[in-house]
């Protein structure tokens, strides 16, 4: 018997109006996973109403009071981590180390925004004598947070913690493939004392739930993480309604390795782009650009490391069947273009991994940058490598993409690393493994989207500025 999961609206579990549930798959085994409530516009209406009733009192609390409530949510996530992990494991097949890291980050998001909200404030503006002028950061009211299947609970917390800290109420719409952990988060938050209606979760498909949620007139801001195609459509609708959005979309991020880099660390970083969530990461550095004199030696080391990665131990399966098939279609297209991978290039066909949707870590070396596999986001454990001659060529190749989410540079020459960082067209740049954490803003240039998640920037994105001027 698979478990049925309901919506979470107004502080309680709510059964689907339609009476219908959507089946999901355990991607590690292809056995039936959880069943989730198949929501419709009717539950969106209930959830937005609950949020709009709860939000004004929440917004009137002081930052310190909201902070206290958010710390309670963080504690509840810590206490409920095992259950969250289990739900996430069933939906995504992620390996333990990955799950631990993601769930730890969830409570950390709430602690971070609980901390910084205590000093969130506007500024005073000196207009001379007889005027007292200041700004206030005010919430939007009800915000929609639409999340995908690659980091389900993590992305939900990433959006909800700053949105709530800024005084908003949230209606969340998790991916229909991976909803249970997000519903459980809302339950934990309610049990931890967060007022009813501040976090509501409506599950279901993008068309049945996401679209009416994004179009709801009471929703005044949308945070969306997902595909470029859906993001573009939502941005058009949001544009028509003149409401702001945060769009965290795809990437084809470069990792640029110069011959003077710390090679052991650079090899480990390049390899981790395949292992980390099996490449189903928006910021995955899947274009490996290596200085020509080092290219063959370096890529041989990455290929060797890739061949040692173990499915189910070092990385998990493709999380959805559509994604599994999409990666295989990329392999078929690459084969048609005459490419032979140096390692991988197929799904697992024997052992336990063959039962699930596991794809072999794959590296195509020394390929033409114009090929589809070098330009399109694959969202699997797949790297392409390309040699470059000098710094100028490295920069041109790194920027030769429609995306701009992330870039990584490895060089023993720190000045060169920072010079590259200045000119790379990406919202985040890591030089020599520099860390990107909850405190650092995440967001795109170009087709990777706009607005910022994480950091103080997210808190400001979930607030609007009011300026008040008093004549004395
Ligand atoms: P992915 O390829 O990562 O599944 P999608 O953009 O299809 O990316 O999905 C990301 C999230 O957006 C999911 O929660 C999905 O249900 C939702 N979604 C899909 N289509 C729409 C839509 N037309 N309107 C609103 N949300 C949608």
Task: Report how far ligand 1's centroid is from the alpha carbon of 323 (Å).
Answer: 13
- The per-residue pLDDT for range 238-260, each reduced to its tens digit, is 999 999 999 999 999 999 999 99
Ligand 1, closest atom to CA 230? 6
Count of C-beta atoms within a 10 Å radius of residue 291:
22
List C-alpha distances in Å: 322 to 150, 175, 210.
13, 13, 19
Measuring CA to CA, which residue among 460, 445, 455 is closest to residue 158? 455
pLDDT in tens, 78-124: 999 999 999 999 999 999 999 999 999 999 999 999 999 999 999 99
Quickly list DSSP for 265-294. HHHHHHHHHHHGGGG--TT---EEEEEHHH
**pLDDT greater than 90 at residue 228:** yes
d(CA 233, CA 90) in angstroms, rounded, equals 31
**8 Å CB contact between 113 and 106:** no
pLDDT digit string, tens, across residues 312-331 = 999 999 999 999 999 999 99
Give the SS3 label for residue 385: strand
Closest CA to 458 of 1, 50, 145, 177: 145
Q: What is the pLDDT of residue 1?
A: 54
Q: Scanning the structure block, which residue is given the tokens 């007292």?
A: 132
The confidence score (pLDDT) of residue 2 equals: 74
**Cβ 208 under 6 angstroms from ligand 1:** no
From the candidates 43, 157, 168, 282, give the one annotated as an active-site residue.
282
Looking at the DSSP bridge assignments, the partners of residue 469 are: 133
| Annotated catalytic residue within 248, 277, 291, 447 | 248
**Pick from 293, 170, 124, 222: which is nearest to 449 by CA?**
222
- Side-chain half-sphere of 171: how many Cα atoms within 13 Å? 38
Nearest CA residue ID for atom 21, ligand 1: 206
Q: How far is CA 326 from CA 164, 230, 373, 398, 453, in A?
A: 36, 17, 12, 24, 27
Contacts of 188 (CB under 8 A, 6+ apart): 73, 76, 77, 80, 84
Query: Is residue 230 in contact with ligand 1, taking CB distance under 6 Å?
Result: yes
The residue assigned the tokens 């454990």 is 381
The helix/strand/coil state of 405 is coil
Burial class (CB in 10 A: 0-12, 13-18, 19+), 195: middle
Q: Which atom of ligand 1 is nearest to the CA of 146?
A: 14
**CB of 176 sitting under 6 A from ligand 1:** yes
Active-site residue flag, 130: no
Where on the phi/psi map is residue 338: left (φ > 0), alpha (ψ -120 to 50), or beta?
left
In the chain, what percentage of residues exceed pLDDT 90? Answer: 99
Q: Is 75 in the pocket of ligand 1 (CB under 6 A)?
A: no
Q: Which residue CA neighbors atom 11 of ligand 1 most closely?
A: 148
**Torsion (CA) 42, 48, 54, 60 in degrees, nearest 10:** -170
What would the two tokens of residue 417 be?
């690393």
Instruction: State the DSSP H helix or E strand holding residue 465, giving kind and residue range, or none if neither.
Output: strand 463-471
Pocket-testing residue among 204, 212, 214, 230, ligand 1, by greatest number of atoms within 8 A of Cβ: 230
CA–centroid distance, 446 to ligand 1, in Å, is 20
pLDDT at residue 339, rounded to an integer: 97
Residue 56 has pLDDT above 90, yes or no: yes
Q: Mean pLDDT over all residues of the chain?
A: 97
CA nearest to 55, candidates 209, 205, 218 = 218
267 and 300 Cβ atoms separated by less than 8 Å: no
Strands 449-450, 245-248: pairing kind: antiparallel
Q: Is residue 148 lining ligand 1, measured as CB closer than 6 Å? A: yes
What is the mean pLDDT of the segment spanning 155-176? 98
| Residue 68 annotated in active site | no
Q: Is the CB of 458 under 6 A from ligand 1?
A: no
Contacts of residue 246, defined as CB under 8 A and 6 or more positions apart, other chains included, come to: 159, 222, 223, 224, 443, 449, 450, 451, 452, 453, 458, 461
Contacts of residue 68, defined as CB under 8 A and 6 or more positions apart, other chains included, come to 114
Sheet holding 32-37, edge to edge: 4-5, 32-37, 21-25
Nearest to 376 by CA among 226, 230, 251: 251
45 catalytic per annotation: no
Q: How far is the CA of 175 from the centre of ligand 1 (A)?
A: 7
CA of 230 to the centre of ligand 1 (A): 6
Nearest Cα residue to 77 out of 115, 117, 104, 113: 104
Mean pLDDT for the stretch of residues 186-209: 98
Q: Which of 26, 150, 168, 200 is catalytic?
A: 150
As a whole number of angstroms, the distance between CA 331 and CA 238 comes to: 36
Estimate the crossing angle of helix 180-191 against helix 152-165, to 10 degrees. 40
- The closest-lying atom of ligand 1 relative to the alpha carbon of residue 323 is 2
- Structure-model confidence comparison of residues 376 and 120, the more confident one: 376
The residue whose CB lies within 8 Å of the most ligand 1 atoms, and thus the one to mutate among 206, 277, 378, is 206
| CA 320 from centre of chain | 16
Residue 231 CA to ligand 1 center (angstroms) comes to 8
Edge-first strand order for the sheet with 254-257 is 362-364, 382-388, 287-291, 254-257, 406-410, 428-431
Residue listed under structure tokens 């699997």: 380
Q: Is the pLDDT of residue 379 over 70?
A: yes
Of 447, 461, 455, 453, the C-alpha closest to 159 is 453
What is the position in ligand 1's atom list of the atom closest to the CA of 174? Answer: 14
């Amino acid at each position: 018997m698979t478990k049925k999961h309901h919506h979470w609206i107004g502080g309680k579990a709510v059964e689907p109006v339609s009476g219908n549930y959507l089946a999901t798959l355990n991607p590690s085994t292809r056995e039936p996973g959880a069943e989730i409530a198949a929501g419709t516009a009717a539950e969106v209406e209930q959830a937005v109403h609950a949020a709009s009733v709860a939000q004004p009192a929440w917004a009137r609390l002081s930052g310190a009071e909201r902070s206290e409530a958010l710390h309670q949510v963080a504690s509840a996530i810590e206490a409920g981590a095992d259950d969250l992990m289990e739900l996430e494991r069933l939906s995504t097949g992620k390996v333990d180390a990955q799950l631990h890291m993601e769930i730890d980050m969830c409570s950390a998001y709430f602690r971070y925004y609980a901390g910084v909200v205590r000093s969130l404030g506007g500024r005073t503006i000196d207009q001379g004598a007889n005027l007292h002028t200041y700004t206030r950061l005010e919430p939007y009211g009800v915000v929609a947070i639409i999340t995908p299947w690659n980091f389900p609970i993590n992305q939900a917390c990433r959006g909800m913690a700053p949105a709530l800290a800024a005084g908003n109420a949230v209606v969340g719409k998790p991916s229909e493939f991976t909803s249970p952990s997000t519903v459980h988060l809302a339950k934990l938050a309610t049990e931890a004392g967060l007022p009813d209606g501040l976090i509501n979760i409506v599950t279901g498909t993008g068309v049945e739930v996401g679209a009416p949620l994004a179009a709801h007139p009471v929703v005044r801001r949308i945070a969306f993480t997902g595909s470029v195609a859906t993001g573009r459509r939502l941005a058009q609708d949001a544009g028509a309604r003149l409401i702001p959005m945060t769009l965290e979309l795809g990437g084809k991020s470069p990792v640029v390795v110069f011959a003077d880099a710390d090679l052991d660390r650079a090899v480990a970083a390049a390899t981790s782009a395949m292992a980390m969530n099996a490449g189903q990461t928006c910021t995955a550095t899947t274009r490996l650009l290596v200085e020509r004199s080092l290219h063959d030696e370096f890529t041989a080391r990455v290929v060797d490391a890739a061949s040692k990665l173990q499915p189910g131990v070092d990385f998990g399966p493709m999380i959805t069947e559509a994604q599994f098939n999409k990666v295989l279609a990329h392999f078929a297209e690459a084969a048609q273009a005459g490419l032979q991978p140096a390692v991988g290039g197929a799904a697992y066909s024997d052992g336990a991994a063959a039962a699930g949707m596991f794809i072999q870590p794959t590296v195509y070396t020394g390929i033409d940058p114009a090929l589809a596999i070098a330009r399109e986001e694959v969202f699997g454990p797949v790297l392409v490598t390309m040699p470059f001659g000098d710094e100028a060529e490295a920069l041109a190749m790194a920027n030769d993409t429609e995306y701009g989410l992330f870039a990584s540079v490895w060089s023993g020459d720190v000045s060169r690393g920072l010079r590259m960082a200045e000119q790379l067209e990406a919202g985040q740049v890591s030089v020599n493994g520099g860390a990107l954490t909850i405190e650092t803003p995440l967001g795109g240039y170009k087709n990777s989207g706009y607005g910022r998640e994480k950091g103080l920037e997210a808190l400001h994105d979930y607030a609007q500025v009011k300026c008040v001027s008093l004549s004395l």
